[in-house]
Chain A
Amino acid sequence: MAHQKYLKNVVTLKLEQEKCVGCGLCAIVCPRAVFKIEDDLAWITALDNCMECGACVGNCPVGAITVHAGVGCASAIIHSWLTGDEPSCDCGGGGNC
């Protein structure tokens, strides 16, 4: 994973730690090891690892996490620019979906 770093300081992930109940689900569902559970609280320890998939947001039972989740696919984004729709895997080509 050391080689698999994407652009710095672009991700929109935010954690309101005061809401956190320490369930640990964000750390379980994150496939990029962005979170760490320590002292019964979630901590963002690798922000730039985040790929904005939104798994942590949906599984946080207290709504402590926010992110602008979406499809990180160039053709989907071009399609959204042209049509005004949200980027999606229904972008015609289909990507690897």
Chain B
Amino acid sequence: MTETENCCTPKVAPTDSCCPVNAPDTVQNCCPPKSGKQSCCPPVADHRKPEYKLEGFIENWLDTPIGEIPVVARKLNRVDQFGRIAMRWGIGRNHYAVAPGIYAVGTPDAEAEVLISANYKLSFDVLRRSLGSINAWILVIDTKGINVWCAAGKGTFGTDEIIRCVKKFHLTKLVTHRRLIVPQLGAPGVAAHLVKNGCDFNVVYGPVRAQDLPAFFTYNRQATPAMRRVNFTLLDRIVLTPVEITILYRQIFYTALALLLLGGIGSQVFSTSAALIRGGSAIATGFSGLVAGAVITPVLLPWLPGRAFSLKGIWTGLAIAILLGGSLLPDAGSTIHIALLLQVTAISSYAAMNFTGSSTYTSPSGVEKEMRIAIPCQLIAVVIALGLWLWTAF
């Protein structure tokens, strides 16, 4: 339908509105004439400015004593869903943020709860999706696009930023109560008593998971013990496995390049076909070690013997190395088998140890202790594996 058909010269008999007869008389359905005529479209309350893009999750605006506040959707749209998947694979991770400020969910009033969130879009999306029918304000603080827990550890989700935002956004004019619902995992960065001193708002720690918020409010802002505990379920672990591989993109690329070059070295000084065959085999076995440590170990984490993650990674690495046998190696022999075993196991152990950063129960003291033992062992295994592999070329 062209603009002319859609607007001020309808083919059917004119009505009071210039909009199409069968369409609602809204801004979206009406367009001004190109020229020469006065526009009869409803006035546009457009919040867009030439240099800004209106976020797709904002569905309306709410007039409040502190000005117009964006009302965000409770459901995620396709862009939100795509963004979540892409972010899991490391695409746009560093820019996955929403603008700090106050947002509304539903039609909150002066008595509605104020929920604090990070400006990491995944946190924000989970929160607005979890609220059910609750009308609330969300105060998004600037954590530089980092999630609540990590930002709390770094201090960006913290006491000072909460106090600053409460004052900056004039929260006392928006609500009559003096209560902030802070996610429990933000507690490492927040001192409730200092927030009270700084802006006269009481911090009430909400549950660990946003989806427990409706129940939390039903129980008069009380969380059950289960709501206060972090889990590390199979799904939690699986969701995090792509991250482990994507953060190693660069190292994987340079290692693969080095293996290709080293694979070509032999009695003929350098052979391209050897580079492709031997180097390719080494890359494939190395990658299988990475999968064993970064994917299989997290999935089997509770059932693998030992408490140190590097030890758990040894079991999966050994299993994969034994399963692979010499199938990836055209010139399989005993020496190359030992190299394979050491390489896959060492890489798997390292990748599994790296998963401590994703886990929800390891302590820095513990990780450092296991690293002081594991890293020298991993290095020795890799050096021996590399030596044996190079030796087999001559």
**A interface residues with partner B (beta carbon < 8 Å):** 1, 3-8, 10-12, 25, 28-33, 49-55, 58-59, 61, 68-78, 87-90, 93-97
The A contact surface, by secondary structure, is: loop
Q: Apart from A55-B188, A72-B362, A73-B354, what 11 extra A-B contacts exist at CB < 8 Å?
A: A11-B365, A25-B192, A28-B228, A29-B205, A71-B153, A72-B356, A72-B357, A74-B367, A76-B357, A95-B357, A97-B147
Taking a contact as CB atoms under 8 Å apart, the answer to whether A59 and B190 are in contact is yes
Is the pair B360, A51 in contact by a Cβ cutoff of 8 Å? yes
Q: Is the CB of B358 within 8 A of A74?
A: no
Chain A residue with the shortest CB-CB distance to B93: A94
Contact indicator B369/A58 (Cβ below 8 Å):
no
Contact A59-B192, Cβ < 8 Å, known A7-B366, A29-B187, A51-B361: yes
Among B224-238, those with CB < 8 Å from A are 225, 228-232
Query: Are B302 and A78 in contact, with the CB atoms below 8 A?
Result: no
Question: In the complex, which residue of chain A has the Cβ closest to the Cβ of B357?
Answer: A73
The answer to whether the Cβ of B191 comes within 8 Å of any Cβ in the partner chain is yes
- B371 contacts A78, CB within 8 Å? yes
Chain B residues within 8 Å of A, Cβ to Cβ: 93-94, 146-147, 150-154, 159, 184-185, 187-193, 205, 208, 223, 225, 228-232, 240, 243, 247-248, 301-303, 307-308, 353-354, 356-371, 375
Are A6 and B366 in contact, with the CB atoms below 8 A? yes
Given the interface contacts A6-B366, A58-B188, A74-B357, does A97 sit within 8 Å of B150 by beta carbon?
yes
Partner of A29, one of B184, B307, B357, B371: B184
Contact of A7 among B184, B308, B357 (CB under 8 A): B308
Are B229 and A73 in contact, with the CB atoms below 8 A? no
Q: Given A55-B187, A97-B150, check contact A6 B361 (CB 8 Å).
A: yes
